[in-house]
Amino acid sequence: MKKFRHFGEVVLTAAVSAALLAGCGSSAAPAAGTESAKAAAVERTGETASGGQIGKEAAAGQTRLDKILAEGKITNVCEPYFAPYEFIDNTKSGQDQFRGADMELARYIAKDLGVELEIVPLEWSAVLTGVTEGKYDMACAGLGYTEERAKTMNLSDIYQQGSKQGLLIRAEDADKYKTFDDFKGKKVGFQSGTIQETLATQQLPESELVTYDLINNAVLALDAGKVDAVSVAIPNGEMFAKSNPKLAVFEGQYFERGKNGNCIGLPKGETALRDRINAIIAEVTEKGLYQQWLDEAVTEAKALGLDVN
């Protein structure tokens, strides 16, 4: 939190994640210290995570868009466990195995630019750091808009309006809670690095906040009575409640949202790339292509036996 994370939420097991990353030839996210060291190196030497020279490119007037067009490739980083936006079809191989509406949008962007698309699968925190540190060109990956993210990366126009955000609780506790005030002192879980974390932190300041690496681990903790609620996108909460009658969506109050929806994350300062992608998004929206891709992805994901958000 595609991933609502994406928005921001993902339902998977650690074993599946590890197997996928191994199968794709990608490594898991680098340790925080390692990424921090890379960031520090950028400050000291002007060398980007991909080996380019920031100073030389700026001096030559070369933007990231120029570099993408010159090299003939754009990289899209994602955590592909968020159907129907991004998921894996194990019957396919290589880049073809990455499916979903957002993967189709990424392919459309690459085709419009006349370049090759490279999809890079990582876990969610590495997706965020990979873009903010300039290691990858974009994250078309069920990335929900937040003011905090807008401070650390360029965000495109919204291409998919967001859903309501709120809490998942135990069904037996439904009568205990009327508003968010009733969660003061209660334990509220969420997946790290997602919109759900941001909303809970901002709007439940007197709750005891508990971080989990995966949303399904937070939900398991709720079911086991280790937390009192989990911050979720409402459609995801409804999905969890449907599969487990012991859980229920809290309907007394939802999180307040400003700008709400999915957008593409880009390295900070790359306004030329952002403007070009915004023009492509406008075209996609005008033609109704994204909804078409989304409908097709829902059908495909269900055929694979995947839960859709």
Residue 55: its pLDDT value, please? 37
DSSP code, position 98: E
Residue 134: its pLDDT value, please? 97
- Tokens of residue 261, six digits: 């929806």
Beta bridge partners of 248: 169
Instruction: Please say whether the beta carbons of 100 and 84 come within 8 A.
Output: yes
CA distances to 86, 94, 104, 289, 301 from 296, in Å: 12, 21, 10, 11, 9
Residue 60: its pLDDT value, please? 56
Residue 91: its pLDDT value, please? 95
Burial of 55 (0-12, 13-18, 19+ CB in 10 A): exposed
Residue 235: its pLDDT value, please? 87
pLDDT in tens, the chain (309 residues): 434 444 343 333 333 333 333 333 333 333 333 333 333 222 222 233 333 334 344 445 799 999 999 999 999 999 999 999 999 999 999 999 999 999 999 999 999 999 999 999 999 999 999 999 999 999 999 999 988 899 999 999 999 988 889 999 999 999 999 999 999 999 999 999 888 999 999 999 999 999 999 999 999 999 999 999 999 999 889 999 999 999 999 999 999 887 889 999 999 999 999 999 999 999 999 999 999 999 999 999 999 999 887
Residue 52: its pLDDT value, please? 36
Residue 174: its pLDDT value, please? 95
Residue 168: its pLDDT value, please? 98
Residue 291: its pLDDT value, please? 94
pTM of this prediction exceeds 0.85: no
CA distance 129 to 152: 10
DSSP codes joined into one string, 252-271: S-----SS-EEEEEEETT-H
